[in-house]
Every structure is written in C-alpha cells, then in structure tokens.
Amino acid sequence: MKAQSRFGLALSWPRLTTVFLVDVLILIVASHCPASWQGEKHIAWWVGVGLAVLVTLLSVVTYHGITVISGVAAWLWDWSADPGTALGAGCTPAADHQRRFGRDTVGVREYQGRLVAVIAVDGGEGDQSGRHRHRMSATAVVPVATVADSLRQFDIELDSVEIVSVEVRGGVEAARASASLEEWGPEEWGVVGDQPAANRRRTWLVLRMNPQRNVAAIACRDSLAATLVTATERLAQDLDGQSCAARPLTADEFADVDSAVLAELEPTWSRPGWRHLKHFNGYATSFWVTPSNIDSGTIDQLWLSDASEVSATVVTVRLTTRAGRPQVSAWVRYHSDERLPKELTAGLNRLTGRQLAAVRASLPAPATRPQLVVPARDLRDHEELELPVGPIQEHTTSSPAGP
C-alpha cells in the first residue's frame, strides 16, 4: 500500500475558470489604482500580479488531496463550530416503518429532506430469527459488488451506500462500549466463544436517499419512507444467507450505532485540529486510502490489529455512482491515547483539515451534501472486493499500513 504524493494539482474546468476570473479581477483593480500608488516602477501593478500568482497556487496546488484554501477553510469551519452540535446534526430520532406487504420493520432517519436506513451485517452467530441460511462461503463477508448493484434498483436511485466497520480493543470495558445489552448479556462481556469480546467487529450498511431524485419511485409507493424501506429490504435479502447475515435495523437501534461509530469519542470534549481530533481521553486521527490501493488485502491491513497504540478502528467504504458507473472510496479512523507513530500509517493519506468531517461522514446521519469527499475509483466489473464481518478469526494477522 502506498500513499499518494503529498503535492498535486486540482485542474478541473470549473476551478480553473473561477481562478482565471479572480485573477483577471485582481489585475483590473491593480491597473486602475491611483498614480500615487503606482510610482515609477508600477508597484501596485506588480503587487496585483503577485496576489494573482499566490491565489492561483493556493487554489490549484493540493496537499494530501486538498487545496490549501479549501483545507484552511474546512479547518477554520470545524475549529469555530461546536463539535457536539456538528456531530449531532442529523442524528435525529428515527421512526419505524413497515411496508404494506413487507416482512421487516425498518427504521428510517430523516433530516432536512434526506433519508437514511441502516442494515446490520454479521456472521449470524447466535441468530434466533428463524431464518434458514445457506451461506456460500465459510467466512462471513460483505461482497462489495452486491452492495454496488443496490445503488440503482429499478426505479429507486440511492445517493450512496457506506459500509462502516468498527473494532474496539482494550478489554471488557471496550466490549461493553462496542455492544448493546440486547446483543450480549453481562456474562458474555468477557468472552465470546474463544475470542475476547473486545476484539469483535461490528459492521453496518448505511443507505442514503434523496427523495427529489426519486419522484417517480415515490409516486408508486405509500410514502417517502416506503421507498427507502423497499431498497433496504432488497439489499438485506440479497446479502442475507449468501455470504453473511443481514437485517435492517429498527428505529430504537440507531442510537446504538451512533455510539459505536463514535467509538467513545465524546463530542462535547473534542477539539478539531489540523492533523487530528483531540478529545479528553486521547486522539482520533483519520486517513483516506489511495483509490488504486483499495482491495481486500488493503482493507485487512487497515485494522492494525497488532498495534498496541490503537484502541479502536473505524473503517468506512463508500459506494456512489458517477456517469452510471459505481465508484468506491475508503477512509479509516484510529483512536489512540497518544499521537500515532508515522510508521504505522505510512501508506495512508492524512485528511488534513477535515478530521471532524471524517467523523461526521461515518455516522448514519442524513445530510444535504456529502460531509467528506475523498478520491474514488471505478469499481471494475466482477471485481472480488470483500469485507470480512463478525468475530475475528484466530488465524487473522495484520501488518502495518505502510508499504
């Protein structure tokens, strides 16, 4: 795994056009300055030229995938915002909905006209739902291609589907923080099978829908919620029993997901920084994955399961559609007591100035626009990209995220 070059260029036509117009405006103002400002050497004009060059460099040259102007603006926005309010935005109470001929009760969260539903996926251990599954593989995995196919379901179009996995380590207390009481009783907090409960991974699929892009689909159904519930049930049925166990979450379970994804991060005691998020009991540091590196092996390396410095890991894989083709991107967040050593994350790209946005983007909270934009690549046809879910196997090993 290899990180992208620190410095790059952002050369999209909209950006170049905007920068060109700003430069022209600066030069026009400089050329019309009073003669007393110009002097014999046209000082005001050359100052204008210097400003135009500086604006161009700051707007076009990127550092860790983001321009300096955008990075500073994002950091100032996060720094001035109240972390508790920023992370809580969109985490509204969900409501249960069941289709007229549907089987499951599905929780739907709404905020500013956007909808979110969540599917829990695991290995099906201890499932008492009565569903008969015939798993095709011995290890429970989420096939990314199947999830990508759900972005467009007949007349329903989803904005994105995010696969969010959380692993909390550090003993029994961490196990309690990473699981609800309904899932494990007190007698199971210490050990699940032969594995420490704290090393259990939990995985969810977050489905996002913009009703304005699904007017025709909504017109054929009972309500806005029914449209998203239809897509959620289809995806859960496609996954359930084939390679993992999948079920839609009810409204009461959303708060548990919010807490697990935050991984003991207390919003009201957090302070966004340029390179990390500082909170009362440590640091949360987010990185994005170079698109060409995204594969099953890379995802496995992201966990850093052997790194004692890491107390929790949150991996997010986002699937979107562009020009009719599915695209995949990924980012990861590490929680630690101290700042992470550089060698642990040598192959990753730091989310400079966007640490708070990275946390928000992994939460199952609706938003009018993506909270975080990272480089993505096209998902190739028949690509075998899979994410393991459920308990960590005893033979699983990990290596540093560097090359």
Query: Which range has the worst mean pLDDT, 17-31, 55-69, 203-217, 236-250?
Result: 55-69
Residue 232: alpha-carbon gap to chain centroid: 19
23 contacts 9 by C-beta, under 8 angstroms: no
Task: Map out the domains of the chain as residue ranges.
Answer: 7-63, 83-388
Residue 49: both structure tokens together: 């030229």
Statement: residue 132 has pLDDT above 50: no
16 contacts 67 by C-beta, under 8 angstroms: no
Give the tens place of pLDDT for each residue, 331-376: 999 999 999 888 888 889 988 888 889 999 999 999 998 889 999 9
Stretch 231-242: mean pLDDT: 90
In this prediction, residue 181 has a pLDDT band, given cuts at 50, 70 and 90, of very low
CA distance 168 to 197: 9
In this prediction, residue 182 has a pLDDT band, given cuts at 50, 70 and 90, of very low
Residue 63 forms beta bridges with which residues? 7, 66
Statement: residue 178 has pLDDT above 70: no
Stretch 89-112: mean pLDDT: 89
CA distance 252 to 368: 24
Three state DSSP letters for 76-118? HHHHHCCHHHHHHCCCCCCEEECCCCCCCCEEEEEECCEEEEE
pLDDT at 195: 47
pLDDT at 125: 64
Query: Which range has the worst mean pLDDT, 224-233, 273-282, 308-317?
Result: 273-282
Give the tens place of pLDDT for each residue, 49-94: 999 999 998 888 887 677 777 777 777 777 777 777 888 888 999 9
pLDDT at 4: 66
Statement: residue 189 has pLDDT above 50: no
